[in-house]
Amino acid sequence: MSSQSEAPVLRATKLVREFYGFRAVNNLDIEIMEGHIHALIGPNGAGKTTVFNLLTKTIPPTSGNIFLRGRDITRMPAADVARQGLVRSFQISAIFPSLTVLENVVVALQRPAGLATQLWRSRRALNPLYGRAEELIDSVGLSAWATRQAGELPYGRKRALEIATTLALSPDVLLLDEPMAGMGREDIDDMVELIRKVAKGKTVVMVEHNLGVVSRLCDRVTVLARGETLAEGTYADVSADPRVREAYMGNGHA
């Protein structure tokens, strides 16, 4: 695995989230180290996606604090969190279906390039962004689909497109919500390679059910159960932990 410093890039303390009295996340402390690929795993209903939504500020925490590089982002709007370099993907592939594949990526490039609010200029002002967009699309293997409507892409390609748009922001912390969900075996191998490739020099947090993928990719694993941390460590550590085995009993290892 790549060289890792020991500073947490993303940290949450005493994180709580309640839904109508139900505590989905209960006093959770978590630290994500710079340069790691960090997996959140756990049985269904463990609160993985909620934690994920809290970390990206998609939903606000009931209490607790979240720090990005030591800066408190607990009350920061989601759009601003994205501007700080923390960018997420979604479980249901998040693309702009009526735009073409290239346009999807261009939309992501527009804001950093300062080309998002001009309403008097022609769309031709965006032409300089297309070169970079093509590179990104190439890097996820979508060149052949560049001018197709994103809504028509097959499932696996949509996920790849989503990664390309996420990368367009050159984030240094990437949160991937079940990037393998609903994929066939071959697509999964491609996606593992893609994540390994894009993770170079970045920090990645991923929710993942496929433990095979977790064991191949991740430096560190946090196991959640009932909104709390059950175990944390390398994949070998946590998979040997009897409490983890108990929590997963019946769910089966991949």
Partner 1 sequence: MPVAANSKVIWGSNMFSYPIQLIMGQLLIGVINGAFYAVLSLGLAVIFGLLRVINFAHGAQYMLGAVTAWLLLRYLGIGYWPALVLAPAIVGLLAFVIERLLLRRIYNLDHLYGLLLTFGLALIIEGSMRHWLGAAGKPYAPPALLTGVWNFGIVIVPIYRAFIVSAALVVCLAVWLLIEKTKIGSYLRAATENASLVETFGVNVPILLSATYVLGAMLAAFAGVLAAPIYQVSPLMGSHLIIIVFAVVVAGGMGSIMGAVVTGFALGILEGLTKVFYPQASTVVIFLVMALVLLFRPAGLFGRDVAASTAAPALATAGKLSRKALVPIAVIAALFLLAAPFFIYPTFATRLLCFALFACAFNLLIGYVGLLSFGHAAFFGGSAYITAHALKIWGFPPEVAILAGVVLASAIGFIFGILAIRRQGIYFAMITLALGQMVYFCFLQAPFAGGEDGIQAVPRGMLFGMIDLYHPFALYYSVLAIVGLALAATWRILNSPFGSILGAVRDNELRAVSLGYHVHRYKLGAFVISAALAGLAGSLKVITVQIASLTDVTWQMSGEVVLMTLLGGMGTFFGPAVGAAVITVIEHYLAGFTVPAPVVTGGLFVICVLVFRRGIVGEIIMLLRIRGGSKTQAKDAATSPVHV
**In the complex, minimum distance from the CB of residue 71 to partner 1, in angstroms, rounded to a whole number:** 16
Kindly tell me which of 124 and 185 has the beta carbon lying closer to partner 1.
124
How far apart CA 44 and CA 50 sit, in angstroms, is 12
Nearer to partner 1, 3 or 122 (CB): 122
CB 162 within 8 A of CB 92: no
Min. distance of Cβ 35 from partner 1 in angstroms? 22
In the complex with partner 1, the residue whose CB is nearer, 99 or 192, is: 99
Region of residue 64 (phi > 0: left; psi between -120 and 50: alpha; otherwise: beta): left
- What the block records as the tokens of 47 is 């609160």
Nearer to partner 1, 148 or 216 (CB): 148
- Closest approach, Cβ 82 to partner 1, in A, equals 4
Residue that has been written with the tokens 């052949």 in this structure: 144
Question: What is the closest distance, in whole angstroms, from the C-beta atom of residue 158 to partner 1 in the complex?
Answer: 12
> Smallest distance from the beta carbon of 246 to partner 1, in angstroms?
30
Q: Which is nearer to partner 1, 169 or 188 (CB)?
A: 169
Q: β-pairing, 8-19 with 22-33?
A: antiparallel
Q: Are 198 and 181 contacting, i.e. CB atoms less than 8 angstroms apart?
A: no
DSSP state of 202: S
CB of 78 to partner 1, least distance (A): 5
Sheet containing 86-88: order of strands: 86-88, 173-177, 203-207, 37-41, 220-225, 228-233
Residues lying near partner 1 in the complex (CB under 8 A) are found at 20, 56, 58, 77-80, 82-83, 87-90, 92, 94-99, 103, 106-108, 110-111, 115-123, 125-126, 149, 151-152, 165, 169
Q: Which of 126, 205 has the CB closer to partner 1?
A: 126
**Element housing 151 (H / E):** none
